[in-house]
Amino acid sequence: MQKISIDFSKTKGFIADGAVQQIEKEVLTAQQKLHDKSGAGNDFLGWLNLPSSITAEHLKEVKATAERLSKQSEVVVVVGIGGSYLGARAVIDALSNSFDFLQSERKAPVVVYAGQNIGEDYTAELLDLLSNKDFSVVVISKSGTTTEPAIAFRLLKELLEKKYPAAEVKDRIVAITDASKGALRTLADREGYQTYVIPDDVGGRYSVLTPVGLLPIAIAGLDIEQLVKGAVDMETATAPGVAYDQNPSTLYAAVRNLLYQKGKTTEILVNYHPKLHFLAEWWKQLYGESEGKENKGIFPAAVDFTTDLHSMGQWIQEGERNIFETVISVEGANRKLEVPSDKDDLDGLNYLAGKRIDEVNKMAELGTLVAHVDGGVPNIRISVPQLNEYYIGQLIFFFEKACGISGYVLGVNPFDQPGVEAYKKNMFALLGKPGFEKETEALRKRI
């Protein structure tokens, strides 16, 4: 099997010749911190060798659970927020038929999401839909008390209890949570839900290859063995023994930090494949939550081209020159569709007749690359041979490994997220949560 490949040639001229080699010692030191667990956040490195530690028996169990839920459900609701749902959604959206939810005959249930927002209309509309569907719930939360998913799960559990007998309700809920503590663990043990464990040493944004991601992905009918195989091969390709200039994760970490030092403070992840929108959303959390600390960090943004060329293209071409692009380029489409000829040619497109849609897309990609580089935007290009489970598995682990290295090069702890708690404390105080009375009074004076 091939591997994803990375082209850094379009960053030349933006960073000094030889700079990538000059930073080698610093990058390899950062990589070593990961592997010898000597860096900050070293108690959250369970993801580092996770792919190769996943057993066939574990995958078999996950698939069996997915099959059980699929047989009894038209819809499976995945309840979670941030890393508890973004990884699964990234893979499912990337590899599922875009319009499969409209098919009358499906091989897998529709996977939908709850608890990723506090939208009242969204949640009410979901409950309306589920009231007339056979459904099950996969609830993902280490504590069981995170506000958004906890509210959603309370409502979904109430609906399940109205629709089904008590004995059936417990078989329609799977909890992915802490091994021994927390509100969700307590409830699951009391009610007899099937459970999977979120490892203590794996943070949410690094959890795609735990049951957090694997179970929803399997429910969607996708091949989790191939997903894991791709990740295992990338684990090998980015191991400490791999030469610096042959290791995609060390090179990506090096180049993006060098660009940052040159004032390129925003990285735009670009795709030319609409199925990759949520992969970018997962990437944004991975890098934003890992690096955005101590008034440091590259701001992660994302665009879907060519769609966003008609909205954001002008700014990228001629706006402030503080950006660089990382383009995920899928080399081959899975389907074949050609532009037809038209006898009147009123739209002037007969020059494209007989060409594949993917060829038109690729020329748009290459033309944009040249235009943006000429306009002062460095470009990193990640080539993915095909959109399938194997290559998505590679891509996930590549980004995770590079993120850990890059964070250490930047000089921050890539595995905590202390800033996330600030909004929660204010929200709790404003809602009158017990224990926040002093904060409530102080906040109301500021609003």
- 310 classed as catalytic: yes
Picking from 420, 424, 418, the residue whose alpha carbon sits closest to that of residue 436 is: 424
Average pLDDT over residues 285-292: 97
Domains and CATH numbers, the chain: 5-40+228-410 (3.40.50.10490), 50-225 (3.40.50.10490)
Residue of 148, 267, 289, 389 with catalytic role: 289
Lowest mean pLDDT among 106-110, 182-186, 267-271, 367-371: 106-110
Average pLDDT over residues 115-137: 95
Using left for φ > 0, alpha for ψ between -120 and 50, and beta otherwise, residue 424 falls in alpha
Query: Which residues make beta-bridge pairs with 112?
Result: 77
The answer, as to whether pTM is greater than 0.85, is yes
CA 68 to chain centre: 26
Picking from 94, 129, 97, 95, the residue whose alpha carbon sits closest to that of residue 112 is: 129
Residue of 105, 120, 310, 421 with catalytic role: 310
Lowest mean pLDDT among 95-99, 360-364, 401-405: 95-99
In tens, the pLDDT along 416-429 reads 988 777 787 888 87
- 161 classed as catalytic: no
pLDDT at residue 446, as a whole number:
78
**Does 363 score more than 90 pLDDT?**
yes
Q: pLDDT above 70 covers what percent of the chain? A: 100
Residue of 191, 424, 437, 441 with catalytic role: 424
Picking from 128, 118, 195, the residue whose alpha carbon sits closest to that of residue 159 is: 128
pLDDT at residue 92, as a whole number:
97
Average pLDDT over residues 15-20: 94
Q: What is the three-class DSSP state of 16?
A: coil
In tens, the pLDDT along 136-157 reads 999 999 999 899 999 999 999 9
Q: How far apart are CA 71 and CA 255, in angstroms?
A: 48
Contact 301, 119 (CB under 8 A): no
Average pLDDT over residues 377-390: 97
Per-chain mean pLDDT for the chain: 94
- 289 classed as catalytic: yes
